[in-house]
């Protein structure tokens, strides 16, 4: 029996408003089965579709998934090439695949690192979902949190130089407003499958008071029941934000 109903409902007090997921373990999943790493990415994409819809169904308001980091370009060229082809196939399908889902799609990260064809597909997906009112899905592609913070600082410094901002105007709220997630609440919960105890340059600024759940399961094997377990663990946490 699921710990949380799969029927749409209002977010309960114990349900996180914003969940982040570091989708990790595709390559190891494939290696364990004697398959090429790209096979793990294909299976991981299937899991992504399932978990995104489930998060929407249980009442999560914001979901941010880590799909491709700024460091992932360092992987073998054949794997990066396979990933780009997978992204293209997924983005083409997503326009119709998520057509009937009330999910707002946003891409966070430096889109300019991708081919013009991929950039257009990202824009098309965002445009198709623009008028929806349901869960906001942030797909982090060519995303790195240090790069995100550097970009925010440069943006603020330009405004200071032009006189639009003064030194006393710079505070945490201003920095947050210059991040890719501007206007969104910080993540309440970040889930990392695969058993690795690293944040991997994911939402460093936003996760100052985030609860973390590490799960010893590779991403392609991640099920709805695993999300239920993570949400149940989160519901038992006492969040004090530095207080008593």
Cα–Cα distance, 45 to 41 (Å, whole number): 6
Cα–Cα distance, 81 to 62 (Å, whole number): 30
pLDDT at 6: 42
Cα–Cα distance, 230 to 224 (Å, whole number): 10
Residue 73 sits at φ, ψ, to 5 deg, of -65, -20
Mean pLDDT on 78-100 = 88
SS3 (DSSP) at 69 = strand
Contacts of 76 (CB under 8 A, 6+ apart): none
pLDDT at 5: 40
pTM tops 0.75, yes or no? yes
Give the angle subtended at the CA of 139 by the CAs of 60 and 93, to the nearest 5°: 100
Domain count, the chain: 1
Is 244 inside a domain boundary?
A: no
Is 148 inside a domain boundary?
A: yes
* Structure token digits, residue 7: 């029927």
Active-site pick, 72, 110, 124, 201: 72
pLDDT at 7: 43
pLDDT in tens, 113-126: 999 999 999 999 99
Is 194 inside a domain boundary?
A: yes
pLDDT at 10: 44
Residue 94: which pLDDT band, with cuts at 50, 70 and 90? confident
Q: Among 48, 63, 11, which residue's Cα sits nearest to residue 187?
A: 63
Q: What is the mean pLDDT of the chain?
A: 91
Whether pLDDT at 217 is above 90:
yes
Is 9 inside a domain boundary?
A: no
Whether pLDDT at 230 is above 70:
yes
Q: Is 24 a catalytic residue?
A: yes
CATH code at position 124: 3.40.1180.10
Is 180 inside a domain boundary?
A: yes
Neighbouring-strand partners of residue 11? none
Domain span at residue 50 reads: 18-235
Active-site pick, 24, 186, 226, 228: 24
Neighbouring-strand partners of residue 211? 189
Is 12 inside a domain boundary?
A: no
Is 185 inside a domain boundary?
A: yes
Is 157 inside a domain boundary?
A: yes
């Amino acid at each position: 029996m699921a710990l949380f109903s799969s029927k749409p409902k209002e977010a309960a007090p114990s349900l996180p408003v914003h969940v982040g997921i570091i989708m990790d373990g595709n390559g190891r999943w494939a290696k364990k089965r004697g398959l090429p790493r790209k096979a793990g990415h294909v299976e991981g994409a299937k899991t992504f579709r399932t978990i995104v819809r489930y998060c929407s169904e249980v009442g999560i308001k914001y979901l941010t998934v880590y799909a491709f980091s700024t460091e992932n370009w360092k992987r073998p060229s054949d794997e990066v090439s396979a990933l780009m082809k997978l992204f293209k196939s997924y983005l083409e399908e997503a326009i119709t695949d998520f057509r009937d889902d009330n999910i707002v799609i946003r891409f966070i990260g430096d889109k300019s690192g991708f081919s013009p064809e991929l950039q257009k597909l990202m824009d098309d997906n965002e445009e198709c979902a623009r008028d929806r009112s349901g869960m906001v899905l942030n797909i982090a592609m060519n995303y790195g949190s240090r790069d995100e913070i550097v970009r925010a600082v440069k943006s603020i410094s330009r405004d200071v130089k032009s006189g639009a901002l003064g030194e006393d105007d710079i505070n945490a709220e201003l920095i947050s407003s210059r991040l890719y997630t501007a206007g969104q609440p910080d993540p309440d919960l970040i889930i990392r499958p695969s058993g690795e105890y690293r944040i991997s340059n994911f939402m460093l600024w936003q996760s100052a008071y985030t609860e973390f759940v590490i799960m010893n399961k590779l991403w392609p094997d991640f099920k709805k029941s695993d999300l239920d377990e993570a949400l149940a663990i989160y519901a038992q946490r006492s969040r004090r934000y530095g207080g008593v």
